[in-house]
Amino acid sequence: MRVSFLFVLATFLSSSIVAQAQVYYVTSPELNLRSGPGDNAPVLLKIPQYGAVNVMDTFSSGWWLVSYGGDTGFSFFKFLSKNNTDPFLDWEKITLSTGDQPPQCENILPSYDTALNNYLKIMDMHNEFDVIVKLVNASNGICIRAAYIKAGESFFMRNIPEGNYLLKEAYGNDFRKSVKNGQCRLRFVRNAIYKRFDTTFSFYIEHTSEGSFLPYYNLELGILSGEDSSYHDLEGSEENEDDFNK
């Protein structure tokens, strides 16, 4: 009986059981939560960078038992830290619906011509990134419209005044706002990419002997279709955040 008791006691002491769950933060761009302790175990989900997990148990193998968002599994300890190094920790998370409205504090004065039933249809085909699309007057660089489009959704930007326009696009995850010293800033704090399309979109009415025609365009994040229903590559060049927000 004494031998059996010592064996049980030794087994209990050899496991590094955490008496109370501790909060740790993901330091890598993303971290796999697996169903078992090893690289070959199926991935249950991916935890985003700076995501907070509850460490339930630690083991000498380096695979820790953690919980995240109601799911429990194993993640490797080297990508977890007690310190939250998120540089946007004090930024307010903003939830927007798909719509033709300038995001808060963008200082955009929308311009419409309700007599023109034209449109730019924007389809977010990524299914994993939200998108902000800006319509910019090609002659003076002024943004006349901005639309926020949720991942996988579509939106019609209608009643666009006659003119030539360029497009700017920002996409990413985790949209947040910061107000410091009276200055308001908005940005995607995860996977943010900013692009400017050099293609000019003409929204001038086309007058022919057969009548007048309104232009319209369908934009699928990188694919453009026009009246002839043919598709063309829409090449864009990356630009920095400051240029996107001008």
State the DSSP H helix or E strand holding residue 167, giving kind and residue range, or none if neither. Answer: strand 164-180
State the DSSP H helix or E strand holding residue 132, giving kind and residue range, or none if neither. Answer: strand 130-137
What pLDDT was estimated at residue 81? 94
> What average pLDDT values come out for the chain (246 residues) when binned by 10 residues?
42 46 92 95 93 94 94 96 90 89 77 95 84 93 93 94 94 87 84 86 91 88 46 64 81
Residue 197, token pair as written in the block = 């399309």
Residue whose C-alpha is closest to residue 109's, from 67, 183, 161: 161
Q: What is the DSSP letter of 78?
A: G
**What's the CATH number for 92-244?**
2.60.40
CATH architecture of structural domain 16-81: Roll (2.30)
Report domain extents, the chain: 16-81, 92-244
